[in-house]
């Protein structure tokens, strides 16, 4: 039986803080909800990061993977941390997690250039195994991928013997799916193009306990396919894959594959529209799966992040063709200013001798230096010829206005795989920083309209604007769908961030009339501005029947790597709940793969049928907990549960009570 949580019953806070939170939200909830209030004021989440045991990490991230590795019914957490060591957190119950990495992994197995990871019981032994993808030494080298076999007391790394080490793959996000419908999970390794002529495989089919390369299974239009998701779009009892494709010279941004037989047949369903992440769900409860595309625009030569009112992060990128241009930024602050400079690319190219301060161009002692209006010889900027003399130029051009220029030059713009010069500058002032602006090249707005494609008889029709998802425009980098208020309608939570600076997250509550309401402060999960948005995942970590969220903000790829991502962290948002009921379902396949990936589950309560596809929880950079969650509103009884298993078996249950967690096993044929 679940407990109803109220605002007065907020846990894990000091009494005074709880009183303040309740008073604040009581004031918010008293606001009018008509046109005068653009955002709907609803308290949905509270930040429990510190009390959960996940609050100690600061730095790079690359998504997370939720899975119950020890079989106790509680979802555990694996975090890759990109270039830092990965960690495994065991869910101890009562909202607490403990780092057990050293108990289960060999130290050398959790390092390296780690990207996406995903749990699945690929050998059907009842224990979740883990795949961890890696890079390929800046796209020109090699690094072994990892497959961890769950032995109960330890994880044994078996990628090479299993046939999926794929050393030359510049891999990004994995996907477990039964491509050839033999009841065994196969493996897709999402990847980006290398900078040489090697063509590592994407797909591996499981045969006799090993995996074999299957280059013909999925015919991609590009050599860059960073991730795919599993869903069902044409109601043919077999899952579809929706894959992000990228690269020059291709006329599409996504490919949709019908996997009813191999080679998979491509379906022409999505128009060309760039996106960062994609989530599938039946947003209008009509039985057909719709698609939401999270989108942002690329940043310009000058990209900004604003972690706080007294702090900025600027990333300046000069391509080979723009070496002769003046690129920089200016800002105002009356306080003492500290600069921290990093030569992102080429590493180490920008030394203190290449930093010129004031009109006379004196050099600081290092790449970190304080300045103020009282600092001698700080007024003005040294003269230079862009493209000839490389360096960073800093000066005070009015009593409180600072000017920063970056000059690229042929001697430090490298050839090879990438011809550009990139410099990151962090500025912290004792007074507020205002009037931040790009110089020479205007900065570009990274905010973009999101796309919502509604499924109309197997055709995807874009209806985003008319359904309210763009009432507030953001730069979206990741997204999850879930019934966050258990009202029988799928909602959306969108992680917002620019390339070098986090933005306020977006919670869109499904109103049920075809429209989504934008929720004030993302319902309590707006998040801080530090770090760079990386991933969001959904999980009921405390088992109360309400979906919680984990947000990671150490995005560390491309322009995000370095100064922007070093302020990253995990943020665990607990759903405060309400009086609505729920049902959660774990699937156990027999003839189908044990995880039931590819199954379609219908739950009917109060005359309303909701649909979930068991997709393994995978989306870009993250794995939601794969347990299927259904909000039931005021219904205390479920009229029917229907499962269409990947094997073709259809299983039905009736008279199921609400507020319980069920494990449904596929019946033997």
pLDDT of residue 11: 34
Per-residue HEC secondary structure of 132-155 comes to EEECCCCCCCCCCCEEEEECCCCE
pLDDT of residue 236: 80
Query: Residues 540-548: what's their mean pLDDT?
Result: 98
Q: Which of the listed CATH numbers 2.60.120, 3.10.50, 2.40.50, 2.60.40 matches domain 581-665?
A: 2.60.40
Contact, 636 vs 312, CB < 8 A?
no
For residue 184, the SS3 value is coil
Query: In this structure, what token pair is assigned to residue 464?
Result: 């985003």
Contact, 104 vs 120, CB < 8 A?
no
What is the Cα–Cα distance from 349 to 426, expressed in whole angstroms?
A: 17
Secondary structure letter of residue 453 according to DSSP = E
pLDDT of residue 442: 66
What is the Cα–Cα distance from 517 to 39, expressed in whole angstroms?
A: 7
What is the Cα–Cα distance from 658 to 650, expressed in whole angstroms?
A: 22
The sheet with strand 64-67 has its strands ordered as: 96-99, 87-93, 76-79, 64-67, 622-623, 618-619
What is the Cα–Cα distance from 498 to 446, expressed in whole angstroms?
A: 6
Confidence class for position 410, pLDDT limits 50, 70, 90: low
Contact, 164 vs 144, CB < 8 A?
no
Radius of gyration of the chain (CA): 26
Q: Which of 545, 548, 538, 448 is nearest to 497 (CA)?
A: 448
Contact, 500 vs 443, CB < 8 A?
no
Concatenated DSSP letters of 91-147: EEETTEEEE-HHHHS-GGGG-SSEEEEEEE-TT-SSS-EEEEEE--TTTTS----EE
Contact, 573 vs 618, CB < 8 A?
no
Identify the bridge partners of residue 638 per DSSP, sorted by sequence position: 656
- Check pLDDT > 60 for residue 8: no
Confidence class for position 411, pLDDT limits 50, 70, 90: low
Higher pLDDT, residue 668 or 321: 668
What is the Cα–Cα distance from 384 to 394, expressed in whole angstroms?
A: 12
- What digits encode the pLDDT tens for the residues 151-194? 999 999 999 999 999 999 999 999 999 999 999 999 999 999 99
pLDDT of residue 96: 98
- What digits encode the pLDDT tens for the residues 423-455? 999 999 999 999 999 987 667 899 999 999 999
Strands 660-665 and 581-588: parallel
Percent of residues, the chain, with pLDDT higher than 70: 93
Phi/psi of residue 560, nearest 5 degrees? -80, -20
Q: What is the CATH number of domain 45-299+445-575?
A: 2.130.10.130
Phi/psi of residue 354, nearest 5 degrees? -95, 5
- Check pLDDT > 90 for residue 329: yes
Query: Residues 122-137: what's their mean pLDDT?
Result: 97
What DSSP element (H or E) covers 171? strand 171-177
What is the Cα–Cα distance from 25 to 339, expressed in whole angstroms?
A: 38
Q: Where in the chain is the domain with CATH 2.130.10.130?
A: 45-299+445-575
Confidence class for position 585, pLDDT limits 50, 70, 90: very high
Secondary structure letter of residue 29 according to DSSP = H
Confidence class for position 659, pLDDT limits 50, 70, 90: very high
User: How far from the centroid of its chain's Cα atoms is residue 423's Cα?
Assistant: 25
Return the minimum-mean-pLDDT range out of 25-34, 205-214, 491-500.
Answer: 25-34
Contact, 330 vs 440, CB < 8 A?
no
- Check pLDDT > 80 for residue 26: no
Return the minimum-mean-pLDDT range out of 41-55, 223-237, 317-331, 624-638.
Answer: 317-331
Higher pLDDT, residue 284 or 7: 284
Q: In 413-430, which positions are buried (b, 16+ CB within 10 angstroms) versus exposed (e)? A: beeeeeebbbbbbbbbbe
Q: In 547-584, which positions are buried (b, 16+ CB within 10 angstroms) versus exposed (e)? A: bbbbbbbbbbbebbbbbbbbbbbbbbbbbbbbebbbbb
Residues 6+ apart with CB under 8 A from 105: 86, 88, 148, 154, 155
Residues 6+ apart with CB under 8 A from 34: none
What's the farthest any 2 CA atoms get from each other in the chain? 85
> What pTM was estimated for this model as a whole?
0.93
pLDDT of residue 38: 63
pLDDT of residue 40: 87
Is 640 exposed, middle or buried, given 0-12, 13-18 or 19+ CB atoms closer than 10 A? middle
Query: Residues 548-570: what's their mean pLDDT?
Result: 96
Higher pLDDT, residue 524 or 108: 524
Q: What is the mean pLDDT of the chain?
A: 92
pLDDT of residue 15: 33
- What digits encode the pLDDT tens for the residues 476-506? 999 999 999 999 999 999 999 999 999 999 9
Q: Which of 225, 175, 231 is nearest to 460 (CA)?
A: 231
The highest-confidence range among 21-25, 172-176, 247-251, 511-515, by mean pLDDT, is 172-176
- What digits encode the pLDDT tens for the residues 269-327? 999 999 999 999 999 999 999 999 999 999 999 999 999 999 999 999 988 777 878 78
- What digits encode the pLDDT tens for the residues 46-105? 999 999 999 999 999 999 999 999 999 999 999 999 999 999 999 999 999 999 999 999
Length of the chain in residues, anyone? 669
What DSSP element (H or E) covers 650? strand 650-657
- Check pLDDT > 90 for residue 416: no
Q: Which of 642, 538, 611, 607 is nearest to 282 (CA)?
A: 611
Query: Residues 370-385: what's their mean pLDDT?
Result: 92
pLDDT of residue 20: 36
Confidence class for position 507, pLDDT limits 50, 70, 90: very high
Return the minimum-mean-pLDDT range out of 240-254, 312-326, 352-366, 471-485.
Answer: 312-326
């Amino acid at each position: 039986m679940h407990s109803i949580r109220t605002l007065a019953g907020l846990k894990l806070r000091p009494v005074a803080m709880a009183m303040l939170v309740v008073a604040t939200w009581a004031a918010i909830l008293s606001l009018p909800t008509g046109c005068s209030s653009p955002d709907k004021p609803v308290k949905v989440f509270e930040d429990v990061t510190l009390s959960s045991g996940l609050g100690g990490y600061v730095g790079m991230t690359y998504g997370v993977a939720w899975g119950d590795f020890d079989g106790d019914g509680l979802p555990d957490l694996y975090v890759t941390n990109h270039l830092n060591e990965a960690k495994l957190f065991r869910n101890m119950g009562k909202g607490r997690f403990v780092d057990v990495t050293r108990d289960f992994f060999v130290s050398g197995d959790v390092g390296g250039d780690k990207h996406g990871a995903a749990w699945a019981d690929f050998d059907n032994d009842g224990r979740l195994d883990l795949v961890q993808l890696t890079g390929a030494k800046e796209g020109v080298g090699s690094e072994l991928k990892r497959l961890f076999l769950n032995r109960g007391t330890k994880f044994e790394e078996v990628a090479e013997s299993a046939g999926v080490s794929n050393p030359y793959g510049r891999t990004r996000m994995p996907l477990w799916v039964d491509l050839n419908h033999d009841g065994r999970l196969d493996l897709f390794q999402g990847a980006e193009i290398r900078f040489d002529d090697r063509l590592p495989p994407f797909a591996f089919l499981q045969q006799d306990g090993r995996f074999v390369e299957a280059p013909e299974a999925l015919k991609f239009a590009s050599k860059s396919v960073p991730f795919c998701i599993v869903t069902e779009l044409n109601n043919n009892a077999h899952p579809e894959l929706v894959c992000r494709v990228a690269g020059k010279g291709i006329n599409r941004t996504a490919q949709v594959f019908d996997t009813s037989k191999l080679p998979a047949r491509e379906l022409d369903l999505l128009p060309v529209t760039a996106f960062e992440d994609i989530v599938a769900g039946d947003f209008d409860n009509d039985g057909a799966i719709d698609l939401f595309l999270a989108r942002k625009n690329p940043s310009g030569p000058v990209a900004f992040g604003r972690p706080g009112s007294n702090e900025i992060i600027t990333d300046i990128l000069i391509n080979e063709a723009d070496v002769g241009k003046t690129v920089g930024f200016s800002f105002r602050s009356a306080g003492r200013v500290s600069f921290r400079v990093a030569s992102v690319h080429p590493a180490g190219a920008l030394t203190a001798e290449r930093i010129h301060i004031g009109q006379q161009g004196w050099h600081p002692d290092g790449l970190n230096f304080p300045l103020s209006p009282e600092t001698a010889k700080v007024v003005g900027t040294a003269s230079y010829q862009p493209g000839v003399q490389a360096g960073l130029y800093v000066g005070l051009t009015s009593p409180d206005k600072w000017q920063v220029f970056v000059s690229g030059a042929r001697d430090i713009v490298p050839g090879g795989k990438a011809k550009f010069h990139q410099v990151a500058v962090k500025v912290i002032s004792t007074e507020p920083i205002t009037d931040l602006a790009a110089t020479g090249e205007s900065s570009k707005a990274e905010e973009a309209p999101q796309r919502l494609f509604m499924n109309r008889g197997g055709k995807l029709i874009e209806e985003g604007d008319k359904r309210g998802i763009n009432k507030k425009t953001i730069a979206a980098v990741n997204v999850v769908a879930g019934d966050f208020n258990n009202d029988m309608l799928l909602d959306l939570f969108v992680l917002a961030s620019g390339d070098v600076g986090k933005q306020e997250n977006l919670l869109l509550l499904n109103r049920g009339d075809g429209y989504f309401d934008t929720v004030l402060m993302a319902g309590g999960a707006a998040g801080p501005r530090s770090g760079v948005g990386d991933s969001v995942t959904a999980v009921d970590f405390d088992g109360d029947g309400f979906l919680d969220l984990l947000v990671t903000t150490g995005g560390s790829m491309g322009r995000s790597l370095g100064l922007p991502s070093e302020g990253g962290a995990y943020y665990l948002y607990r759903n405060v709940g309400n009086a609505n009921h729920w049902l959660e379902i774990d699937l156990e396949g027999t003839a189908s793969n044990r995880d039931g990936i590819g199954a379609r589950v219908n739950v009917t309560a109060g005359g309303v049928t909701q649909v979930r596809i068991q997709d393994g929880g995978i989306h870009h950079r993250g794995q939601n907990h794969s347990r299927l969650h259904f909000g039931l509103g005021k219904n205390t009884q479920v009229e029917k549960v229907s499962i269409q298993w990947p094997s073709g078996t259809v299983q039905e249950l009736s008279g199921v009570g609400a507020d319980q967690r069920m494990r449904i096993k596929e019946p033997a044929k």
